[in-house]
Structure 1
Amino acid sequence: MSGISKEYDLFVIGAGMAGTTAANRCAAKGWHVGIVDALPYGGTCALRGCDPKKILRRGAEVIDAAHLMQGKGISENDLTLDWATLMRHKRGFTDGVPQGMEDELHRNGVSTFHGAAHFTGPHHLKINGVQHQAKRFLIATGARPRPLDFPGHEHLIDSTDFLNLEELPGRIVFIGGGFVSFEFAHIAARAGVDCVIIDHGTRPLRAFDPDLIDLLVQRTEQAGIRVNHSTTVSAVARTPTGLQVSVEQDGVTTVIDTDLVVHGAGRVPNIDGLNLAAANIAWGPRGIDVFGHLQSRSNPSVFAAGDAADTPGERLTPVAVFEGKVAASNMLKGTMTVPDYAGVPTTVFTIPELNRVGMLEHEAGRDGREIVVRYNDTSSWYSNYRIGETTAATKVIIDTATDQILGAHLFGPGYSEVINIFGLAIKLGLTTRQLKSITATYPSVGSDLGSML
């Protein structure tokens, strides 16, 4: 098919949360907007990441909760995780997302396209042989698994494949010490899978508080998951009975027999194939090179948001959403507003979960700032005793001069909700005195907030 379409005010590449947010906002203001994606509409979070992952995690949570209450009134003898049925439950959510999102775009007047897109000039994009012209473009193509180059890398599956497994094998090796490996291993282990995590570094999840990471690793191993630190994968080979993973640690090579190997070793911006050079769009390892207000440094007609953009923000869905909003506003109004990244929390949804917002302890102590660190072992607190959890802790970092929160780090069940309050405090500049003045519903996990300070 060949030809050229009429000109758009905005053409969005990528139908995830950043792209659809911007497309809907600009279309609502009367702009002629087009959007394209080679994959089903919805993006990684709704279809291949956050949402389906947490549905599967719920099954694992129930198993773990019963285990913690063993001998405390609950018998787990007949309790099992039915993976196939749990997957059907997951698909009950994910299957309707693409059409629902496309229907919303249509209602807002957005023209939708499916297929791989690439630039043919500063204002031209080709999709399935048809060239489209636009005054502006927003690149919001997200991220993809980082390429691996060791022999046998083709035998690995990625996070998308894992979330679509119809059945779980008996043994899984997860490569990488990040979110994917830890979250998925915690799910699979509660389904009875023998799990191994191979981490290249000395400590996994390096963006989080080291003291709480140590507790997470301890809890991970208690769940039956082996964590190999300072270990490098040298090869993966197929055998008649499964796969063999060759690893090196301290100069010694060993072999791990397994049934499945999952790629959890990081992600990179998904911008290959866009032919960015044809549109004079500069990029680097972290994505499209943009100013703080999300406009391309080399082509003023182009903006970028989400994981495809080189911004200070964390690679998180909520960040992609508000970057999409800011990009849309800047394009509509001709402004140069910079997104506010303060107080954005992030969570590793292991069981229990690990959370962070704001600065790490060593970051907060820079520049001569006077700080106080409030550390609490909360494993014996009522909210954890009630459910039988024996591993939990919090660390809150406070600026003594202002009494404001600089960082909060929480490891424990339900703390992914509490971290949001700390995020709000950082964003609004609330003091610990103000936080302590809150009267919380009791006995909720949130009522522990004052004691954490």
Structure 2
Amino acid sequence: MTETLDLIVIGAGMAGINAAKKCSKAGWSVAIVDELPYGGTCALRGCDPKKMLRAGAEAVDAARLLAGKGVAGETRIDWPALMKHKESFTDPVPENMEEGLRQAGVRCLHGAARFTAEDRIEIEGHGGIAFRHALIATGAKPRPLDFPGADRLIDSTDFLNLAELPQRIAFVGGGYISFEFAHIAARAGAEVTILDHGARQLKAFDPDLVDMLLARSRAAGIKIVAGATPERIEAAGEGHLVTYSQNGSPRQIEADLVVHGAGRVPAVDGLDLKAAGIETGQGGVKVTPWLQSTSNSRIFAAGDAAASPGKPLTPVAVFEGRIAASNMLKGKRTEPDYTGVPSVVFTIPELARVGMLEEEARETGEVNVSFTDTSGWFSQKRLNETNAGARIISAKDGKILGAHIFGPDYAELINVFSLAIKLGLTVDQIRAMPAAYPTGASDIRSML
């Protein structure tokens, strides 16, 4: 007889784990399944391990900026040792995640999953399971690339597990992954090139601040090639020869390693969604504003696997998972609030935004815009940092509509603006905040 569960969660990342725990604690029978180690992209193959490696790059960059200003001697990255530092965080994650789920009463399963009917799923090694509800939270995977030799690229997971760092690295694509990894690799001594198909990089961020980032990237030794369309990758000795077109002309670059940084897509291909009557679109599972499948009411989706308005960010996956769980439990139609979700490119320094871009804000009516080059401020001077800036956008009534900042530790600073947008605070209210001095937050008054 086929087992029946109240909820089966597919994907043991942040969205799935939070939803599974919430429903189990409410008394539901819940199982979670993943064919990969528990923890998801952020904890194991993305955000967290990336920042562990970035710590070494930050230390090297800080020492180089202050060379001759009180810091002496060579500082370099020992890549294998830095990788072990990263593994000190990532290695315990799967077991810790599973233990937390088990303590919450969730059954933990391993293996590939696929739907066999609108209310049934087959799990490799476990057989068939019937369910009242299912949550698809399988995250995203690298976008398939269609040119000869594309199989020679490694993805972000592979990069974060490199035993040794090659000397020459090319990144295909000009988004988050390429820039963040390029900044790490360059500080570790690699010759780095970013090949971006577009004329402008990091389009979701303020263009003036992106220009500052590009200048800082080039100063760190990163070569950025815009308008570069990959044509093919082939063997060249022990490395690779990348052929790309630029302005209609073929060009080539040799690299020891070529990394996929050309975007990600929902990881739902292997689930046989048609068997359950689940409709999909370019952004993943088609869902209502309350995260329920538009074609199968038993199914919900959250995080990168859902075609929701939310950005592909960990905080979004977390609260979408919780809201999907709440809607399943209570039979409600609560919609996620995406207001004030910040986004950061963890380069060195980091580029951050929350809210609207200036061009978006101007479409809403009259706005006030304050752009400040903060490169010469004390917060940068003490580090000998050369590039930093801020653009703050507010409505006529003073409420913050958007904040865009580039500088050291500005990833922390963006959270103040995130809170301001979430709570509808005005410029005057933020100015009234007594910040500790001297800190980055004490600079906010002068940015407004």
TM-score (norm 2): 0.99
Q: Does 1:406 align with 2:398?
A: no
SS at match of 1:203: coil
SS at match of 2:310: coil
Deviation, 1:320, is 0.1
Picking from 308, 312, 315, the partner of 1:315 is 312
Deviation, 1:5, is 4.3
SS at match of 2:42: helix
Q: Deviations over 1:58-115 (max 9, x none)?
A: 000000001111121112x321100100100100000000010001111111111100
Q: Deviations over 1:307-365 (max 9, x none)?
A: 00001111000100000010011111111000000000000000000001000000000
Tell me how far apart the structure 2 counterparts of residues 298 and 436 of structure 1 sit (CA, whole Å). 49
**Structure 1 stretch displaced more, 24-33 or 123-132:** 123-132
**Structure 1 stretch displaced more, 234-243 or 9-18:** 234-243
Q: Does 1:40 align with 2:37?
A: yes
Picking from 66, 75, 79, the partner of 2:75 is 79
Q: Which runs of 5 or more residues in structure 1 are unaligned?
A: none
Corresponding residue for residue 163 of structure 1: 160
Tell me how far apart the structure 2 counterparts of residues 31 and 236 of structure 1 sit (CA, whole Å). 51
1:270-309 alignment, distance < 5 Å: 270-309=267-306
What is the letter of the counterpart of residue 431 of structure 2? K
TM-score (norm 1): 0.98
Q: Does 1:443 align with 2:435?
A: no
What is the letter of the counterpart of residue 41 of structure 2? T
Tell me how far apart the structure 2 counterparts of residues 133 and 374 of structure 1 sit (CA, whole Å). 56
Picking from 421, 426, 430, the partner of 1:426 is 421
Deviation, 1:241, is 3.3
Picking from 16, 30, 35, the partner of 1:19 is 16
SS at match of 1:20: helix
Corresponding residue for residue 329 of structure 1: 326
Corresponding residue for residue 193 of structure 1: 190
Q: Deviations over 1:37-69 (max 9, x none)?
A: 000000000000000000000000000001111
Tell me how far apart the structure 2 counterparts of residues 304 and 241 of structure 1 sit (CA, whole Å). 44
Tell me how far apart the structure 2 counterparts of residues 180 and 334 of structure 1 sit (CA, whole Å). 38
Q: Deviations over 1:4-60 (max 9, x none)?
A: 542110000000000000000000011000110000000000000000000000000
Tell me how far apart the structure 2 counterparts of residues 312 and 297 of structure 1 sit (CA, whole Å). 15
Picking from 417, 422, 425, the partner of 2:412 is 417
Deviation, 1:254, is 1.2
Corresponding residue for residue 249 of structure 1: 246
Corresponding residue for residue 207 of structure 1: 204
Picking from 343, 352, 355, the partner of 1:355 is 352
Tell me how far apart the structure 2 counterparts of residues 268 and 85 of structure 1 sit (CA, whole Å). 32
Tell me how far apart the structure 2 counterparts of residues 55 and 362 of structure 1 sit (CA, whole Å). 35
Picking from 82, 86, 89, the partner of 1:90 is 86
Tell me how far apart the structure 1 counterparts of residues 348 and 408 of structure 2 sit (CA, whole Å). 7
Tell me how far apart the structure 1 counterparts of residues 200 and 2 of structure 2 sit (CA, whole Å). 52
Corresponding residue for residue 228 of structure 1: 225
Deviation, 1:441, is 0.6
**Contact 2:303 2:320 (C-alpha < 8 Å) held by counterparts:** yes
What is the letter of the counterpart of residue 367 of structure 2? I
Which ranges of 4 or more aligned residues in structure 1 deviate by more than 2 Å? none
SS at match of 2:442: helix
SS at match of 2:392: strand
Q: Which runs of 5 or more residues in structure 2 are unaligned?
A: none
Tell me how far apart the structure 2 counterparts of residues 307 and 143 of structure 1 sit (CA, whole Å). 6
SS at match of 2:192: strand
Please tell me the root mean square deviation across aligned C-alpha atoms, in Å: 0.7
Picking from 99, 102, 106, the partner of 2:98 is 102
Tell me how far apart the structure 1 counterparts of residues 251 and 196 of structure 2 sit (CA, whole Å). 15
What is the letter of the counterpart of residue 8 of structure 1? L
